[in-house]
Structure 1
């Protein structure tokens, strides 16, 4: 017996099971079955059996999958981080601590969780992705992660200086803003009750300020006591820009609660820095009452530039809000 395929005009070929036999000395063929409805894999197995060959196994049947970990998102985020040179920014020398910090950074992108949950996601027995295996930190626990964070904190200034050298230069705009984060626990020395910018009231919190480029690339971050007012965080940023980053001409962009008249007079002007901020409602009202700001300025344009003796040497740009 054998399997043959017979061309079928206008249709797929017919798959037939046939055998040869002799009739009065002549070799003849007869069809035993029509296998056209069989799947190709089944036909191939029958052909091998008829030829006395061992049966083949499907590729999927040749492997036993004991466990499969998601990898695509890890490859995408880790690959991007390496393209950006993040590992070299952390430390030019490869080490387990650098790998742990890299793992935490990637984990915060693909699955932001607590350090305890992150450690479980890295551990071989409870891994939620291939991240721990790829970076060789699948044996880490939460204590290892906290120790790596302490190590990274000691390198914070060097990392920020490298980021500033990469993304900032004289004459650029630097964005600065402040927020807060509430937390559980009572032992953090910076934890204080203060203005809850994140909306979580009545709990200990920290305040943090972030410097970024106009493209939104973070350059430096600093943490303050949880009851620190926004303007009080500005001094550290001015010192950082001038002294550590070596920038002499920078325009600092911040909101009206951050860059106040007092901060302009006492800190920004003496430091030789420019600024972009917004006036408060009483200051705008005073300009209107002094006829320095007139609504007719917006008859044809939404933006207007005005001058006022109350703000010598400053550009006042007004924007009309139709609402």
Structure 2
């Protein structure tokens, strides 16, 4: 065939893309933590989508499609969230986290930190309250407390009214953690307050441990 008679070949056309490797990696981590014991694939996909791109339920399907996964319907997603709350997924996940931390982490020392999450809403309710905000916001907010092992692996989470003092959340979550796992002794430090107090020499480590044990045993 003469060069002049050759037919030009059209360039390649991209018909779709998918971050399948990312999805499979996160699904593998989910399983390695023991969370697949929940036996809830839709819940797993909702967790993965939330990690990749926090968005609304309506938009979660798009995120999963971008990951190369066929998403469940919006109604199924909403039913899954209701079922997760009804069936106590949080309690089961807390147990799985503790099991994983015992096997792969170190629960001899637990640390605690608190943050606030605000809502762009005008009205308060029983949970979303205007309270102290480091960003000086006046929006309703909630207080979230997280207990972790010495390596930062989550063990227990708590949610409190937005006007609750941060220091008033630590003992309830520690008692909840101890009761859940049948623990007697627990040594912990509140990152922002206790550690800074010890650094300034206001209290010794031994005094802090004694105060902590008395408080959590109450």
Q: Which has the larger radius of gyration?
A: 1
Using structure 2 for the length normalisation, give the TM-score.
0.74
Distance 1:78 1:313 in 2: 39
Distance 1:73 1:312 in 2: 44
C-alpha contact (below 8 Å) 1:211/1:218 kept by paired residues: yes
Tell me what 1:14 maps to: none
Q: Give 1:65 shift.
A: 7.0
User: Which of the residues 128, 133, 140 maps onto 1:196?
Assistant: 133
RMSD: 3.6
Q: Which runs of 5+ in 1 are unaligned?
A: 1-16, 18-32, 43-57, 260-276, 288-304, 315-323
C-alpha contact (below 8 Å) 1:182/1:200 kept by paired residues: no
The reply on whether 1:148 has 2:80 as its aligned counterpart is yes
Alignment length (residue pairs): 200
1:194–1:146: structure 2 CA closer, same or farther, 3 Å change rule? farther
Q: Which runs of 5+ in 2 are unaligned?
A: 211-218
Distance 1:312 1:66 in 2: 62
C-alpha contact (below 8 Å) 1:174/1:214 kept by paired residues: yes
1:114–1:280: structure 2 CA closer, same or farther, 3 Å change rule? farther
Identify the structure with bigger relative contact order (alpha carbons < 8 Å, sequence gap 6+): 2
1:312–1:149: structure 2 CA closer, same or farther, 3 Å change rule? closer
1:216–1:69: structure 2 CA closer, same or farther, 3 Å change rule? same
Distance 2:22 2:59 in 1: 18
1:237–1:168: structure 2 CA closer, same or farther, 3 Å change rule? farther
The reply on whether 1:69 has 2:18 as its aligned counterpart is yes
